[in-house]
Amino acid sequence: MKRILLIEDEPSIAKLQRDYLEINQFEAHVQHSGEEGLERALNEEFDLIILDIMLPKLNGFEVCKRVRAVKDIPILLVSAKKEEIDKIRGLGLGADDYITKPFSPGELVARVKAHLSRYERLSERNHTKKLIKVHHIELDKLARRVFVYNQEVTFTTKEFDLLLFLITHPNQVLSKEQLFENLWGFDSTGDISTVTVHVRKVREKIEQNPAQPQYLETIWGAGYRFNI
């Protein structure tokens, strides 16, 4: 039975979510504050976390950041906030999904099942493959080496991190803000324009025609997408 951690400060909402999860054969545990939720998330084994943003003592963004630093499990952010900047921030901190209140319990359960299934597929793939191979590109994560058409190509640290992040988030539109916060951090002394520079350098190394990229595509007004 999969173990789910619910971090939600509204008891009635937490009870409804827990009941629906248990009906669907999940083992659900509830914490009502960010601090208590973070402690359990770090010290116990869970398969997925459902995390409200507006929490007492410690908000969901900070909880997400600290959990993601040490654990690779699905994190679903839940919030009444509809602003795009909150979604961008949450996804940039490593959340796998952002659900806006109000939503049906059935939708929540469906998303939980989808993310658990995806993580299981990725885990199986990571256990069976030492290299990440996409199209004509191979990445050796441990050795931090990149091969393009079977020839090793030199990547800087940030170029490698950017390519790895894009490849492991395939077919998703990722904004400059998401990439900058995830790879550099908003507290970095760098500028967000560095994302554009690094994307251009990565394209020059993986694309046959960087001026007309086939894989690392610009989605105008939105960000970048790595096509698989």
pLDDT tens sequence for the chain (228 residues): 899 999 999 999 999 999 999 999 999 999 999 999 999 999 999 999 999 999 988 999 999 999 988 888 889 998 887 777 877 887 888 888 888 888 888 889 999 998 898 888 776 655 545 678 888 999 988 788 999 999 999 998 889 999 999 998 889 899 998 898 888 775 444 577 888 999 999 999 999 999 999 999 999 989 999 998
Instruction: Read off the pTM.
Output: 0.56
Give the CA radius of gyration of the chain.
19
CA–CA dist 188, 166 (Å, integer): 20
Using CA atoms, how far residue 175 sits from 109, 123, 211, in Å, is: 27, 26, 20
